[in-house]
Amino acid sequence: FRFVLKKHPNHFDTLHMLGLSEYQLGETEAAMRTIKRALMVDPQSEAAHSNLATVLLSLGKAADSLVSCETAIRLAPAFANAHYNHGNALFALGRFADAAASFRTAFALNPQFVDAFNNCGNALHKARQFAEAITCYDQVLALAPGHVLAYINRGAAYIELRKTDEAIADFDRAIALAPDHAGVWINRGEALLQRRYLDESLQSYDRAIELDPRSPEAWLGRANVLVLSRRVDEAKRACQEALAIDPNSVKALVQFGQCLAHQGDADAGIALFEQALLIDPCDDAAHANRIFTLDFSATASFAEHQAARADWWRAIGAVEAGARPAPVHDNELSPGRKLVVGYVGAEFKRCSAAYTYRSVLENHDKSRFEVICYSATTKTDEVTESFKQAADHWREIGQWPDDQLEACVRRDKIDILVDLFGHSADNRLRVFARKPAPVQVTAWGHATGTGMPVMDYLFSDPVAIPQEVRPLFAEQVFDLPCLIVAEPPRGDFRSPVPPVTQNGFMTYGVFNRVSKLSDVALALWSQLLASKSDARLVIKDHMLDDDETCRILRDRFARSGADLERISLLGSTSREQHLEAFAQIDVCLDPFPQGGGVSTWEALYMGVPVVTRMGRSVPTRAAAAILSATGLSDWIARDDQDYLAIASRPTKDHLQTLRQDLPELIQRRCGPLRYAKAVEDAYQQMWRQYCEAQLPNGGVIP
């Protein structure tokens, strides 16, 4: 080409072909200059403008690329390649819906344009139109059955739609075609992880690391599996590998923060989540983990907690709500009729959260309420079956996209939709943002507020959320007899006598997550042990199955000056064994800043009193709310010295009396029947208020 140009320096075809050759050889800057020279010779060449757009995009000049594409399209509106490049430029600029439109034009002009179909699918995926993206990938595979990227991309879309079986099948097909493609193994690991097939998922991520040790996604997938397998220290090392490769990886920062929070360093975790949000203010995982981990911060107040939720609403929830027309509901406006209540959750199984609301569902008056459960539970058990028995209708939503869940809620004519997730994992708050039901309530699962103006109510109580801080909440706080209750376990797990009467020394217990155990709490407990030279402390949590977590906890106690010989660490057990372990405990010590919820109820049902210190947020006041509701306000401390005094004062006789009387006291004040009735009364009051609000001029329904 250069030989020809010496004789004919303005030969358009030669300049154009030289520019393309330079681009193919990776000489991108030279290619840009050469094609621009060609266009000076023939500014009407749509092909040269389109090819210049490709070169400019590879140089990161998406806006300039877009201008070249628009020129090419103006010169030749039926030029499919120009529309394709136009779509690529729009994609690079983050205009995914517009990019999809350009790709559609390209394959409408050329129905065999495989790359246009594939890139249209990618744009639709980015626009969260996953079902439409799959249609594009289907077309790619119809035209090119061996297209590995189409299988990978379609599988990734299936993951977003929670159709993990289809995703795994696509990744297996891709592996058969390209067994050494690291990206396939990464995606396969994610799909298996979503199904909680932890061993197989870890094998997939490890294979990806073998193929590409520089892939941060592979290391982070490995870290995620290790956290769920309670191998937190190994997970931290995997996160550090990812951050060494990409220090600005939002996902790596979030994952590393999770590991630190799991091991009790909440503030370090929060700092990493906030660092991630500086990079990407719309990252859902960073927001959710920041919200959740603030529960464990010693300094976070009501205002900070609700500000974090408001940040999520502005970045994510409001965008979801604003992307659709204003919600319209045609439910019958009759306050006296039978109401349809929908419960949305993932914990309809054997876990602590389920024990806070199962009794509500089981005790619903079916003459007044129809109950529909929308279950995202991944692994079912006998508790799941009990929920199915309590519900009038059961919907398995684990693999439903948001559009499908929203449509089902509307089709079911739900009057009151209840969120059981809060901002915990796998939540469906994006669906609640669309307001598919007239009245929406968040309760029990997290019980700390969502920050969503479209969430009408939050169930709580006056101790957990005092009147003076309620203006900070997006929801209207509706008081129940207690923030949460827990159903009573079988009475035969309870020992009739406190252990101090037999062994002569006091045994304290902390049956809470290790992540709740702050250094301030550990220092106070060490001081308590020092003041009672024969006392013992038992700490129990499933994370203590991890040797490194145990070592870190012992080191933290040692720094507080505790006698480690008098501290026992217990790991995971069956629920029955967990309840039986309270027989070893005289008094439970509530951790702080975040206190116990279900763990507090379990101790009280087993006849074991709990000493707590009330803080400045819902998570720091949960145990105080429970103790107040059960008439044990004298076990709530004002400060550290009061905490020590309360923990030190119980006599053998007092503990014996409590061991005998507490279960009956709970039933009398906060029993399941009384609590369920209060919930039903709340639903009817909410519905009446909604009906009246729909009447002209604020009329009142008699």
Q: What's the confidence (pLDDT) of residue 559?
A: 94
pLDDT the model gives residue 194: 85
Question: How far apart, in whole angstroms, are the C-alpha atoms of residue 657 and residue 651?
Answer: 10
Helix (H, G, I), strand (E, B) or coil at 625: helix
- Show the DSSP H helices in 110-215 as ranges: 114-126, 130-143, 148-160, 164-177, 182-194, 198-211
Q: How confident is the model at residue 310 (pLDDT cuts 50, 70, 90)?
A: very high
Give me the residues paired with residue 570 across strands: 540
CA angle, residues 234, 212, 136, in degrees to nearest 5: 110
More confident residue, 39 or 109: 109
Identify the band that residue 4 occupies on the pLDDT scale cut at 50, 70 and 90: low
**Which is more confidently placed, 632 or 4?**
632
Lowest-confidence pick of 34-38, 287-291, 338-342: 34-38
Distance (Å, rounded) from C-alpha 543 to C-alpha 555?
16
Question: pLDDT category, 701, cuts 50, 70, 90?
Answer: low
In this prediction, residue 144 has a pLDDT band, given cuts at 50, 70 and 90, of very high
138-142, 231-235, 455-459: which range is least confident on average?
231-235
What would the mean pLDDT of 257-271 be, rounded to a whole number?
90
Q: Note the pLDDT of residue 101.
A: 95
175-218 confidence digits (pLDDT tens): 999 999 999 999 999 999 988 899 999 999 999 999 999 999 99
pLDDT of residue 699: 57
- How high is the pLDDT of residue 6? 65
pLDDT at 3: 62
Tokens of 542: 């499933």
Beta strand 536-540 with 507-510 is parallel
* Position 702 pLDDT exceeds 60: no
Residue 373 near residue 395, CB atoms below 8 Å: yes
Average pLDDT over residues 391-407: 91
Cα distance between residue 671 and residue 435, in whole Å: 32
pLDDT of residue 212: 96
Of the pLDDT bands very low, low, confident and very high (cuts 50, 70, 90), residue 426 is: confident
Amino acid at 632: L
Q: Count other Cβ atoms within 10 Å, centred on residue 512.
A: 24
> Confidence band (pLDDT; 50, 70, 90) for 573?
very high
State the Cα–Cα distance between residues 687 and 702, nearest whole angstrom: 13
Task: Give CA 365 to chain center in angstroms.
Answer: 32
Give the confidence band of 473 by pLDDT, cuts at 50, 70, 90: very high
Q: What pLDDT does residue 223 have?
A: 96
**According to the model, what pLDDT value does residue 218 have?**
96
pLDDT band at 557 (very low <50, low <70, confident <90, very high): very high
Separation of alpha carbons 502 and 216, rounded Å = 56
Mean pLDDT of the chain: 92
Long-range contacts of 577-582 (CB under 8 A, 24+ apart): 578/511, 578/540, 578/602, 579/489, 579/490, 579/493, 579/494, 579/606, 580/493, 581/509, 581/511, 581/538, 581/540, 582/493, 582/494, 582/495, 582/509, 582/511, 582/606, 582/607, 582/608
Query: Can you tell me the mean pLDDT for 142-171?
Result: 93
Structure tokens at 174: 């891709």
pLDDT of residue 425: 81
pLDDT value, residue 505 = 94
Query: pLDDT band for position 39 (50/70/90)?
Result: confident
Q: Which residue has the higher pLDDT, 44 or 680?
A: 680
Q: How many CB atoms sit inside 10 A of residue 122's CB?
A: 23
% the chain with pLDDT above 90: 76
The 10 Å Cβ neighbour count of residue 3 is: 7
Identify the burial level of 148 via C-beta atoms within 10 angstroms of its C-beta, where 0-12 means exposed, 13-18 middle and 19 or more buried: middle
- pLDDT value of position 697: 63
List of domains in the chain: 2-227 (1.25.40.10), 339-479 (3.40.50.11380), 491-670 (3.40.50.2000)
pLDDT category, 395, cuts 50, 70, 90?
very high
pLDDT at 469: 97
Q: Is the pLDDT of residue 117 over 70?
A: yes
Say yes or no to pLDDT of 2 above 70: no
DSSP per-residue codes, 268-326: HHHHHHHHHHHH-TT-HHHHHHHHHHHTT-SS--HHHHHHHHHHHIIIIIHHHHHTSPP
Quote the pLDDT of residue 603: 95
Residue 494 · residue 606 · CB < 8 Å: yes
Quote the CA–CA distance of 404 and 416 in Å, as a whole number: 18
Backbone angles phi, psi at 163, to 5 degrees: -95, 70
Q: Which pLDDT score is estimated for 1?
A: 61
Confidence of residue 593 (pLDDT cuts 50, 70, 90): confident
Q: Is there a contact between 285 and 255 (Cβ–Cβ < 8 Å)?
A: no
In terms of C-beta density within 10 A (0-12 exposed, 13-18 middle, 19 or more buried), how is residue 237 classed?
middle
- Which comes out higher in pLDDT, residue 162 or 253? 253
